[in-house]
Amino acid sequence: MTIAGSDSIGGAGIQADLKAFASIGVHGCSAIACITAQNTSGIRRTIPVPIDMLRDQIEAVLEDAELGAVKTGAIYTAENCGLVADLFGGRGVPLVVDPVLVSTTGDSLSAEDLVSVLKKRLIPVCSLVTPNLSEARVLSGIEITDMDSLHRASEWLLSLGASGVLIKGLRQGERISDLLTMSDGTSRTFTSQLLRGGEFHGTGCILSALTAGYLALGNDLCTSVTKARGSLFEGMTRAYAPGKGMRIIDTVGVKLVDGEKAEILHRMVSLRHEIETRVDTRLLPEVGSNLGHSISAPEVEADVAGFTGRIVREGGRTRIAGCPQFGASKHIARIIISASRFDPGIRSAMNIKYDERNLRACTEAGLSASDFSRENEPPDVSSMDWGVARAIEQFGSVPDVIWDAGGPGKEPMIRVLGHDPSDVLDKVSRIARKLPGE
């Protein structure tokens, strides 16, 4: 269950919490403690829900369902905070307290006296309190500038009675550290690379919701925090910007991608016979070929499926050696990723043998083509990223075929691009039909 504020843009608060629960297979119940009028740039107005209405929401759930864990977010008033402490202090349900005082955009999400009641009544009965640096400073009075002060603030908060304290966001160069300290005397420091590209909306809400979700699934506190951070960072890698301000974390999208990947692998398996019968062996390079198919908006090589053993010539026939797998072909993946940035509809590609005969057949098949020269390749760039982008920019759009004549240590190659594997195979078949008979 989440007891928090409502976020009208859907990136934090109740809305983000419920999506986070759903992303790990947990059913989410909710009680709205305050209502905000906000977007990705800021909060216009906040009003608390009357305490009797908050009580009715919580008790309606408690009468009907057995809760696995509870988390609080922006509960806003001291009265609401005291109510939650009264209702859950002795219930024996894991309680994660995200002591939200200010939004990521800098707007206040707390009324007077909230901090005092948090310290005296709610934090002492919780399983975990998850302040960021500024919240930890307000609660503890300790300025956190390094690992030593981070440990001191954590121990001070732990002394209030919480079973665990997770202080988030100590920046040290390009690294971010979170410190988990537990009442059994153990602690763990989590360190990760700073993610660039602007701020994210709702990180604290989502992390605490995921932690509560993993606790509800039966994990211990340290495991729950570890898994929650992993799920959070997965969602951050797929963050998007629905508005003009901060990006929103896509926790549900991670699961949708898993489903999309399963469909792609199934399709690749079903195409096996078609590939082996339609691809002319004269189009296969000595190093073998591969056919790739990506998820929507691919970003990394693991977003593109290919065949582990490539497409090869076996005697006089085309054969697929291996099975479809994401990340199986770095070469094809870079082509698709680069091309999809110019045209999101391009999600498939296949490399074929470069020679004058095959190149001429591409033109005779009516396919558009562009090329790049490796002689002009700048140092310290990905050949495929640079080369594909160069060919597309020269052509003005994504062509059917991108080729290069190779270079020192680089085999020349023709790449056929398309919207999906069937589109690519149709183009490859058109090329084969224009080859002279042997």
Is the pLDDT higher at 365 or at 106? 365
pLDDT (0 to 100) of residue 222: 95
Angle 424-430-431 (CA atoms, 0-180°, nearest 5)? 90
Across 16-20, 87-91, 123-127, 223-227, least confident range: 87-91
Smallest Cα–Cα separation from 87: which of 181, 1, 149? 1
- What sign does the dihedral 127-132-138-144 (CA atoms) show? positive
pLDDT band, residue 185 (cuts 50/70/90): very high
pLDDT (0 to 100) of residue 395: 96
Is the pLDDT higher at 411 or at 415? 415
User: Please, what is the end-to-end C-alpha distance for the chain in angstroms?
Assistant: 71
In 321-371 the beta strands, taken as DSSP E runs, fall at 324-326, 348-353, 369-371
Average pLDDT over residues 374-400: 91
Given a cut of 90, is residue 419 above it in pLDDT?
yes
Indicate the DSSP class of residue 108: B
Strand partners, 306: 325
Domains annotated for the chain, with CATH where assigned, are 2-249 (3.40.1190.20), 256-433 (3.40.225.10)
Average pLDDT over residues 370-384: 88
Q: Is the pTM here over 0.95, yes or no? A: no
Q: Alpha helix locations (H) across 271-355?
A: 272-278, 330-340
What's at 142, amino acid-wise? I
How does pLDDT run across 115-150, given as a tens digit for each residue? 999 999 999 999 999 999 999 999 999 999 999 999
In 194-281 the beta strands, taken as DSSP E runs, fall at 200-201, 247-248
**Nearest 10 degrees: Cα torsion 211, 257, 239, 18:** -40
Q: Tokens representing 102?
A: 């200010």
How does pLDDT run across 186-237, given as a tens digit for each residue? 999 999 888 766 688 889 999 999 999 999 999 999 999 999 999 998 888 8
Given a cut of 70, is residue 376 above it in pLDDT?
yes
Average pLDDT over residues 412-434: 96
Is the pLDDT higher at 282 or at 315? 282
Q: What distance in Å separates the CA atoms of residue 285 and residue 415, rounded to the nearest whole number?
A: 11
CB 150 within 8 A of CB 179: yes
Across 155-164, 193-202, 343-352, least confident range: 193-202
pLDDT band, residue 109 (cuts 50/70/90): low
Given a cut of 90, is residue 50 above it in pLDDT?
yes
Average pLDDT over residues 330-354: 95
Given a cut of 60, is residue 411 above it in pLDDT?
yes
Given a cut of 70, is residue 111 above it in pLDDT?
no
What is the secondary structure of 88-148 as a DSSP string? Answer: HTTS---EEE----B-TTS-B-B-TTHHHHIIIIIGGG-SEE--BHHHHHHHH-----SHH
pLDDT (0 to 100) of residue 113: 84
pLDDT (0 to 100) of residue 197: 63
Given a cut of 80, is residue 420 above it in pLDDT?
yes
Q: What distance in Å separates the CA atoms of residue 293 and residue 267, rounded to the nearest whole number?
A: 9
pLDDT (0 to 100) of residue 338: 95
Given a cut of 70, is residue 398 above it in pLDDT?
yes
Give the count of beta carbons closer than 10 Å to the beta carbon of residue 273.
Answer: 10
pLDDT (0 to 100) of residue 121: 95
